[in-house]
């Protein structure tokens, strides 16, 4: 029924439909005259208001928008609904939440300079918020002095154990009295929130200092490092490990430049509070030791590793292990050798490089064993640097031999090659074609067949076939670029074995094939002969502060202006790019930007103190020539900024995630599990291992039938559904996708 109130065609503008009609309109239930009604409502504001009101009877517009906001946003909202948030929730909270939370426990103050009152302190400013607590600048009203107050984060404070832990750690930290450790003046509880009070150290942190002024000189580095080691030594003697030595925790007191370590012992309280189920610590792990990154027990030598990282940072302006993601950093800390300091900054003396590298040894055994040993060594070097004639240089420590080479099947021990293999698993590979995923740097891949027949091999990168061939005993060599490759070898095999830089594929006792990877020489730093001390290393200088490679142009920053780079001296940029590519291979962007003098030298052009840059202004298109001096400051700025010129590193784990998230369609009607997985494996080109022994133990046969039909769902979903039905699970571990029995609970 359609009823109009004030029904009169001539008074259309004043007449409105009743609620029932409007409700029908809203819910698409209009039986008749749909068009006329719609036309009226769409031009009648009054009716629109009624409809709008009816639409949000059950759910407001605001709530609707929240439904579709970013997942993390909604998550915060979900948590905020409950009065006590758990420790682990903290990670997902956004910055606004933090700021609001920071101030929530303050009491009002009458002091106009104060943002609130906490115990006897007038809080003037929130300085920062870490994983554990909030640091505020405050004025102590009873003692009449400024101080820093650190309060346990309210969301952690609801746990009695967290409170106790905070207080206990703060008290033991307070027991360390040393000129290079920020003293803790008070440890107390106010309104259920434990807090501690420290003096305000006027001056920048080491982080700020290096960010502002660029890398430090060797002598400055040695001075600061010696003082950090001294402070550490005092704490270590009390049995206290810092656990979070990083540039932001090293304060440099203004004027006297005295080094003070802050946040002693508190990292531990944080770890326990913010640990997720995975045992991964929230926050920046860049300065962590390998044993910390790995979650192993740590002792004072962990701080020494972090000290090495901090020294590396002082000398180069960046931490030794950098990656896009937290996991990437942790992985590099555990596996990679840092790039030599002298390669980055030629001013670093060999002995200093050796000291830092020894501190950065993966195994605590290979580091210096105590902080005081480091103090003595650095002090002697400092004396020598200040007065080279009066004091002798300390003996250069014999550099420890590199870490033991990788064991047969342990790829995690730092080999340059990362073979993804299934060696050592008590199960058989499933598929007729063997699939190996490997992550490699640019170089060559040599494959030799040991079988009588030619071995068909396909090499893929992503979906693209890089090479398809048959390999005989004579073998074949293929040029490859950096990336993750999938190598498929036809035929049944049942084992892999890693031998140094090669993978041997076997069938029974027979070797079927061998794959050897060689990195290209232009790129391989580790094999280069170590250069003797001052042999003409080209100076690290640059005429601009930023260099960015875009599709058709190279953009540089000179002063604060951005230009397209056309020429450097007589060299046109196209030629320069071409020749650098030839000379340096895949690293050419980095080399061209960071090592300009060396690159030019290699191309037969040794620049003078400045270069003539031919540039085109990005906005006006005007072409200008600038005689730009080559300076160290420019180069340092460029170097710090240069992340965008680093080659991208795709990891095997990312590759798996991509494949698992990819959409697929499956149809299986009573297919035995093993066959089903084989199909999936071939279809998606990933190795899937069926752990037959585990299944056997759980009483599941590999002939269990699988039926599933789904279209356009993720592979992950397919595996979940299909495997759950037959009582199995999968995991991606050590970069192999393994299928095993779901434990019975």
Partner 1 sequence: MLQGPETRASLIGKLNQPASEEVWMEFVSLYRPLVVRVALGKGLQHADAEDLAQDVFAAVRRSLETFETRGRGSFRAWLFRITRNLVVNQLTRPKGPVGSGDSQTNRWLMQQPDRQSETATLFDHELRRQQFHVAADRVRSKCEPATWRAFWMTAVEGQSISTVAASLGKAEGAVRMAKCRVFARLQQEAQSISSLWETEE
CB of 67 to partner 1, least distance (A): 4
Choices 26-34, 204-212, 343-351, 397-405 (CB under 8 A): range interacting with partner 1: 26-34
Phi, psi for 261 (deg, rounded to 5): -90, 135
Q: Which of residues 394-453 bind partner 1 (CB under 8 A)?
A: none
Tokens for 510? Answer: 């027979």
CB of 584 to partner 1, least distance (A): 36
CB of 724 to partner 1, least distance (A): 4
* H or E, element range at 495: strand 495-499
Q: Which of 68, 464, 536, 608 binds partner 1 (CB under 8 A)?
A: 68
Residues in the interface with partner 1 (CB under 8 A) total: 76
The residue among 271 and 303 lying less far from partner 1, judged by its C-beta, is 271
Q: Give CA–CA dist 83/14, Å, rounded.
A: 51
Taking CB under 8 A as the rule, does residue 125 contact partner 1?
A: no
Q: Which of residues 254-313 bind partner 1 (CB under 8 A)?
A: 271-272, 275-280, 295
The residue among 520 and 704 lying less far from partner 1, judged by its C-beta, is 704
DSSP 408: T
Choices 64-72, 377-385, 415-423, 424-432 (CB under 8 A): range interacting with partner 1: 64-72
Q: Which of residues 326-355 bind partner 1 (CB under 8 A)?
A: none
The distance of Cα 136 from the centroid of its chain, to the nearest Å, equals 29
CB of 438 to partner 1, least distance (A): 22
Can you give the length of the chain in residues?
745
The distance of Cα 659 from the centroid of its chain, to the nearest Å, equals 21
Contact letters for partner 1, residues 30-49 (x by CB under 8 A): --------x--xxxxx--x-
Tokens for 641? Answer: 């900024």
Taking CB under 8 A as the rule, does residue 727 contact partner 1?
A: yes
CB of 79 to partner 1, least distance (A): 7
Whether residue 589 is annotated as binding a ligand: the answer is no
Q: Which of 7, 32, 71, 509 binds partner 1 (CB under 8 A)?
A: 71
Q: Which of 9, 82, 255, 620 binds partner 1 (CB under 8 A)?
A: 82
* CB burial of residue 217 (10 Å; 0-12, 13-18, 19+): middle
Contact letters for partner 1, residues 91-110 (x by CB under 8 A): xx------------------
User: CA angle 406-411-413, nearest 5°?
Assistant: 55
> Nearest to residue 521, comparing CAs of 584, 615, 435?
584
* H or E, element range at 79: helix 71-80
Q: Which of residues 699-718 bind partner 1 (CB under 8 A)?
A: 707-710, 713, 716-717
Q: Which of 46, 56, 191, 627 binds partner 1 (CB under 8 A)?
A: 56
Tokens for 334? Answer: 């555990």
Q: Give CA–CA dist 443/438, Å, rounded.
A: 13
Write down the number of H helices and E strands in the chain: 25, 31
Q: Give the chain's end-to-end CA distance (angstroms, integer).
A: 60
CB of 61 to partner 1, least distance (A): 6
The residue among 552 and 745 lying less far from partner 1, judged by its C-beta, is 745
CB of 74 to partner 1, least distance (A): 6
CA atoms within 13 A on the CB side of 291: 19
Taking CB under 8 A as the rule, does residue 698 contact partner 1?
A: no
CB of 279 to partner 1, least distance (A): 5
Strands (E), 53-205: 116-118, 121-129, 133-140, 145-152, 186-190, 193-199
Q: Which of residues 128-167 bind partner 1 (CB under 8 A)?
A: 158-162, 165
Choices 12-20, 62-70, 219-227, 469-477 (CB under 8 A): range interacting with partner 1: 62-70
* CB burial of residue 573 (10 Å; 0-12, 13-18, 19+): middle
Q: Which of 84, 473, 617, 658 binds partner 1 (CB under 8 A)?
A: 84
Q: Give CA–CA dist 122/120, Å, rounded.
A: 7
DSSP H helices in 81-177:
95-103, 154-157, 160-174
Strands (E), 168-240: 186-190, 193-199
Report the catalytic residues: 244
* CB burial of residue 250 (10 Å; 0-12, 13-18, 19+): buried
Q: Which of residues 446-505 bind partner 1 (CB under 8 A)?
A: none
The residue among 45 and 619 lying less far from partner 1, judged by its C-beta, is 45
The residue among 450 and 720 lying less far from partner 1, judged by its C-beta, is 720
Choices 78-86, 138-146, 222-230, 550-558 (CB under 8 A): range interacting with partner 1: 78-86
Tokens for 469? Answer: 């061939």
Q: Which of 255, 552, 620, 745 binds partner 1 (CB under 8 A)?
A: 745
Annotated binding-site residues read 150
Annotated binding-site residues for ATP read 150
């Amino acid at each position: 029924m359609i009823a109009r109130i004030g029904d009169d065609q001539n008074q259309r503008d004043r007449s409105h439909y009743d609620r029932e009609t409007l409700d029908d309109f809203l819910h698409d239930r209009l039986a008749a005259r749909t068009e006329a009604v719609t036309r009226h409502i769409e031009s009648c504001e009054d009716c629109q208001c009624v409809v709008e009101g009816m639409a949000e009877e059950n759910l407001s517009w605001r709530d609707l928008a929240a439904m579709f906001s970013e997942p993390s946003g909604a998550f915060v909202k979900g948590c905020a609904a409950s009065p006590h948030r758990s420790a682990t929730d903290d990670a997902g909270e956004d910055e606004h939440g933090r700021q609001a939370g920071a101030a929530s426990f303050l009491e009002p103050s009458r002091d106009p300079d104060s943002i609130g009152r906490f115990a006897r302190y007038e809080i003037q400013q929130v300085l920062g918020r870490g994983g554990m607590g909030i640091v505020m600048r405050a004025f102590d009203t009873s003692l009449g002095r400024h101080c820093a107050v650190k309060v346990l984060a309210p969301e952690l404070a609801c746990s009695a154990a967290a409170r106790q832990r905070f207080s206990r750690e703060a008290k033991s930290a307070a027991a360390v009295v040393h000129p290079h450790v920020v003293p803790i003046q008070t440890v107390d509880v106010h309104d259920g929130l434990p807090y501690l009070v420290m003096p305000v150290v006027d001056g920048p942190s080491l982080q700020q200092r290096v960010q502002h002024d660029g890398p430090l000189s060797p002598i400055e580095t040695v001075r600061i490092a010696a003082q950090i080691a001294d402070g550490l030594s005092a704490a270590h003697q009390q049995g206290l490990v810092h656990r979070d030595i990083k540039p932001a925790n090293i304060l440099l007191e203004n004027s006297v430049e005295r080094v003070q370590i802050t946040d002693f012992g508190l990292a531990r309280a944080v770890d326990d509070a913010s640990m997720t189920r995975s045992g991964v610590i929230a926050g920046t792990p860049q300065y962590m030791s390998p044993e910390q990154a790995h979650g192993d027990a740590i002792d004072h030598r962990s701080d020494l590793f972090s000290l090495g990282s901090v020294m590396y940072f002082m000398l180069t302006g960046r931490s030794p292990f950098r990656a896009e993601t937290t996991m990437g950093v942790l992985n590099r800390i555990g596996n990679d050798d840092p790039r030599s300091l002298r390669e980055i900054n030629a001013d670093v003396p060999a002995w200093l490089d050796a000291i830092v590298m020894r501190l950065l040894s993966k195994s605590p055994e290979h580091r210096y064993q105590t902080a005081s040993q480091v103090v003595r060594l650095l002090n002697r070097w400092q004396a020598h640097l200040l007065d080279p004639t009066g004091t002798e240089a300390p003996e250069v420590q014999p550099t420890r031999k590199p870490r033991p080479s990788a064991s047969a099947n342990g790829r995690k021990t730092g080999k340059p090659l990362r073979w993804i293999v299934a060696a050592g698993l008590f199960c058989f590979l499933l598929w007729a074609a063997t699939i190996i995923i490997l992550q490699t740097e640019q170089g060559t891949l040599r494959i030799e067949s040991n079988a009588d027949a030619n071995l068909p091999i396909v090499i893929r990168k992503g979906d693209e076939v890089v090479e398809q061939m048959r390999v005989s005993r004579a073998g074949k060599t293929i040029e490859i670029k950096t990336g993750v490759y999938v190598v498929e070898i036809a035929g049944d095999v049942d084992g892999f074995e890693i031998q140094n830089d090669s993978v041997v594929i076997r069938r029974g006792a027979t070797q079927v094939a061998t794959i050897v990877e060689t990195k290209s020489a232009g790129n391989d730093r580790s094999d280069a002969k170590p250069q003797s001390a001052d042999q003409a290393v080209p100076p690290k200088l640059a005429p601009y502060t930023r260099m960015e490679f875009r599709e058709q142009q190279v953009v540089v920053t000179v002063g604060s202006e951005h230009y397209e780079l056309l020429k450097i001296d007589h060299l046109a940029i196209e030629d320069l790019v071409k020749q650098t590519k030839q000379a340096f291979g895949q690293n050419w962007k980095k080399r061209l930007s960071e090592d300009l003098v060396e690159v030019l030298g290699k191309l037969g052009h040794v620049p003078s103190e400045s270069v003539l840059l031919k540039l085109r202004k990005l906005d006006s298109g005007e072409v200008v020539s600038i005689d730009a001096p080559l300076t160290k400051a420019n180069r340092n700025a460029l170097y710090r900024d240069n992340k965008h010129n680093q080659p991208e590193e795709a990891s095997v784990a990312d590759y798996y995630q991509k494949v698992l998230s990819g959409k697929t369609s499956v149809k299986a009607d009573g297919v035995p599990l093993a066959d089903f997985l084989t199909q999936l494996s071939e279809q998606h080109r990933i190795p899937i291992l069926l752990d037959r022994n585990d299944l056997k133990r759980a009483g599941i046969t590999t002939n269990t039938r699988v039926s599933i039909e789904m279209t356009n769902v993720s592979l992950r979903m397919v595996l979940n559904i299909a495997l759950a039905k037959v009582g199995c699970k999968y995991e991606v571990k050590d970069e192999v996708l393994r299928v095993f029995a779901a434990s019975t609970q």
